Amino acid sequence: MKKLLLSILLITTVLFSNAQISQNNWMVGGSFAFTSSEVMNITTKTTLLSPNVGYFFVDRFAGGIKANLSALKVEGEDVMSSSMFGPYLRYYLLKNDKDFNLHFDGSYMFGATKAAGETFNQNGYELAVTPMVFLNKHTALELRVSYGSVDTEGETERTNTFGLGVGFQIHLGGGATKK
């Protein structure tokens, strides 16, 4: 029964929402990325899942909340997990009626890393440029290029990261319709 209700809700949302980067619209989605960084000649590989929800305050400009949930493998050590949360702002470069667009976004996040039974607080920022294509009136495929910098409690240096990722955004109606 739960699956049936969820399916009906999903179909209704897709059928009655409008594609949009227009004022008063919502988006939900996220991305998946793999990153590699180096601090003090030690390589760290990270798998990252980054869900988000956002609202368009004005045409082409949105803000919202996102999370970065990651698994980190530091050379010569056990796997660590990290959870960071925070606000983001996003600006779409092209007009609302385009099937292709490019957006820039920035976020500030805070959270913690857990490793070997210990927890370390973190905070940092991420900047990204993302070409995207609307697959239909509601769904956009995104190819994300990002740079981030995180300060971890107890570390002497920040972790700077360059990343490539892929994601989807589902745009929910309320404002102007894309052609």
Q: Is residue 25 part of a domain?
A: yes
CA distance 112 to 26: 28
Is the Cβ–Cβ distance between 78 and 115 less than 8 Å?
A: yes
- The length of the chain is 179
Q: Which domain holds residue 100?
A: 2-172
Q: What count of other Cβ atoms lies within 10 Å of the Cβ of residue 73?
A: 14
Q: How many domains does the chain have?
A: 1
pLDDT at residue 3, rounded to an integer: 55
pTM of the full predicted structure?
Answer: 0.77
Q: Is residue 87 part of a domain?
A: yes
Q: Is residue 35 part of a domain?
A: yes
CA distance 151 to 158: 5
Judging by DSSP bridges, how do beta strands 100-115 and 26-39 pair with one another? unpaired
Backbone angles phi, psi at 10, to 5 degrees: -65, -45
Is the Cβ–Cβ distance between 104 and 90 less than 8 Å?
A: yes
Q: Is residue 113 part of a domain?
A: yes
The helix (H) or strand (E) run that includes residue 12 is helix 2-16
User: What is the full per-residue pLDDT of the chain (179 aa) written as tens digits?
Assistant: 555 445 444 444 444 444 578 899 999 999 988 778 888 888 888 888 999 999 999 999 999 999 999 898 888 888 889 999 999 999 999 988 888 999 999 999 999 999 888 999 999 999 999 999 999 888 999 999 999 999 999 889 998 988 888 999 999 875 444 44
CATH number at residue 152: 2.40.160.20
Q: Is residue 135 part of a domain?
A: yes
CA distance 22 to 57: 8
Residue 68: both structure tokens together = 């970065």
Q: Is residue 177 part of a domain?
A: no
Q: Is residue 107 part of a domain?
A: yes
Residue 61: both structure tokens together = 């400009």
Q: Is residue 59 part of a domain?
A: yes
